Each structure stands twice: as structure tokens, then as C-alpha cells.
Amino acid sequence: MTAQAVISASDLSLTFTTADGPVFALQDINLTVKDGDFVSLIGPSGCGKTTLLRVIADLERASAGTVSVNGMAPEQARKARAYGYVFQAPALYPWRTVEQNVGLPLEIMGTADAAARVKRNLDLVNLGGFEKKFPWQLSGGMQQRVSIARALAVEPKLLLMDEPFGALDEIVRDKLNQQLLELWAATKKTVVFVTHSIPEAVFLSTRIVVMSPRPGRIIDVIETNLPRDRTLDIRETGAFLKIAQRVREGLKAGHSYED
């Protein structure tokens, strides 16, 4: 099957000018994400993985090179609401109930079948019955699931996730990883997922993009080829450990210990 490119970046660079001189956040990034892929961006802090995601989402502008999202420039893609974005924190609006938070993008877009969409997407993240709760009444993991439902409510083909489970404890994280994988299998979305956890990246992804800092660049791209209907037990298998080993090697090679 030749899937079309959902995201393609070529020779992408982004330089921030600061008082201490230029910071090369991204340099010569070339990346293609195909329809239905689950791509993880992994690397130490400062490697530009979040910046790359933000460039794709048109929350930052590249200084050089080109990116296209669904064949459009990122700005057009954003205006066409081509993607759903999940942030590091749930970023729920505390004065809105769960259903009002999930319905927020639909209010803004003026969607007609908002109520049905809210219900459908809350059910997808197993939060049926919590519609009338306010965010502070939910646990951190549940709040992040609300924010995933909110991103899904836009019903985009592309989901951009920026370390969505980074602030959660490992038990909750494992459970949400499993649920996310089921969600991905059920909805057939394309996902770009930023993480700094090697097991998370290997468990979730079809491809792992290993990045390195100063300047932020891609140093390895790994096809995982693990079966799609995997469970957490797969983390004990040899194939899994081999991929994790390669990611670790890549991170080690790219990291300079001078500083």
C-alpha cells in the first residue's frame, strides 16, 4: 500500500534569536509522515522535538525550508483545522464542564452536530458519565483524556501530541498508552507523538524519530514493525528490547557530554 504523505518537511530549520546569540532549535530536518503512521519524536530536552511539532501546527514559523501538512502550508492547514493538538498539560478551561471543554472547538467552528460529537468522543476515551463534572473534580489522567477527547472532537485525520502523558505516574501512563493504541487502531488516525520515554516510544510507534540537541536534528529513524494489536506484554519480547536498544544507542551518540 502506498500511503500518501500527511506531513513532509524538507531542509527545515528554525533559529531563535536571543540576547545570548542565535539558538539553532532545528537544523536541516527532513521527515515524511505517511497516512496512518504513528510517529514518535524522541530526544533529550532541547533537541527541538516540541519545536518541530509546533512548526507542523503553525504555532512556530520555520526560518528556512518547507513543511506541508495535508499538502498545504502549515498556516492553511491550521486554518482548515486539519489537526488536533494535545498539549503537555490538559489546558482545560476550569470554568467549563467536561462536555463544555470537549465542545469548545465545535462552538468555535460552529459545528451543527456538536452534542453527538461530544458524546461520541467522550465515550472513545471512556469518560461517559463525567459530562457535568468540572476539571478540578477529575484526576490528572482523566483530565488529559478529556483533552484528548477535545482534540478528537475536531475529527481531524492528524493528531499532534506533545508529551501528553509526561506529567502522569507510570501506572496511569501505561494504561493510557494502551488506550491510545486502541484508539489509534479504531480511528485510523495519523499521530505524531513527542516523548522522552523510550518504552513509550517503542510501544506506541510505527516509526521512531531520534533527535539530538544543539543544533536540533534528526539522527536516526527506526521502523518498528511490531504487530499492530500489541499489549503491554510486548515490552518483554526480544524484538521490543532490540528496538529500545537502538533508540538508546542513537540518543547516546547524539548527546554531547561536554556540557
Q: Give the angle subtended at the CA of 182 by the CAs of 176 and 184, to the nearest 5°.
A: 100
Question: What are the CA-CA distances from residue 184 to residues 39, 46, 188, 249 (Å)?
Answer: 12, 28, 5, 28
**Mask of contacts with another protein, 140-159, x by CB under 8 A?**
--------------x-----
Q: How many residues sit in the footprint of another protein (CB under 8 A)?
A: 26
| Window of 9-17, 107-115, 163-171, 195-203 that interacts with another protein by CB under 8 A | 107-115
Q: Answer yes or no whether residue 204 interacts with another protein by CB under 8 A.
A: no
Q: CA distances (Å), 76 to each of 134, 141, 254, in order?
A: 34, 32, 34
Nearer to another protein, 108 or 232 (CB): 108
Of the candidate residues 61, 81, 228, 248, the single one contacting another protein (CB under 8 A): 81
Letters for 7-46 (x = contact with another protein by CB under 8 A, - = none) are ----------------------------------------
Q: Give the C-alpha separation, 218 to 211, whole Å.
A: 4
Candidates 7, 51, 83, 198: give the one binding another protein (CB under 8 A): 83
Q: In this structure, are residues 7 and 69 in contact, taking their beta carbons and an 8 Å threshold?
A: yes
Report if residue 93 touches another protein, rule: CB under 8 A.
yes
Q: Which three cell numbers stand for residue 3?
A: 500511503
Q: State the minimum distance, in angstroms, from the CB of residue 79 to another protein.
A: 5
User: DSSP strand E in 38-197: where?
Assistant: 38-42, 64-69, 83-86, 158-162, 190-195
Of 85-93, 116-124, 219-227, 250-258, the window that binds another protein (rule: CB under 8 A) is 85-93
Does residue 92 come out as left (phi exceeding 0), alpha (psi in the -120 to 50 range) or beta?
Answer: beta
Which residue in the block uniquely carries the three cell numbers 547516546? 252
| Cα angle, residue 152 at apex, residues 92 and 216 outer, rounded to 5° | 80
Contacts of 231 (CB under 8 A, 6+ apart): 178
Comparison of 18 and 225: residue with beta carbon closer to another protein: 18
252 binds another protein (CB under 8 A): no
Query: Does 89 interact with another protein (rule: CB under 8 A)?
Result: yes
Is 109 a residue that touches another protein (CB under 8 A)?
A: yes
Provide the binding-site residues for another protein, judged by CB under 8 A.
57-59, 78-79, 81, 83-85, 87-89, 91, 93-97, 104-105, 107-109, 134, 136, 154
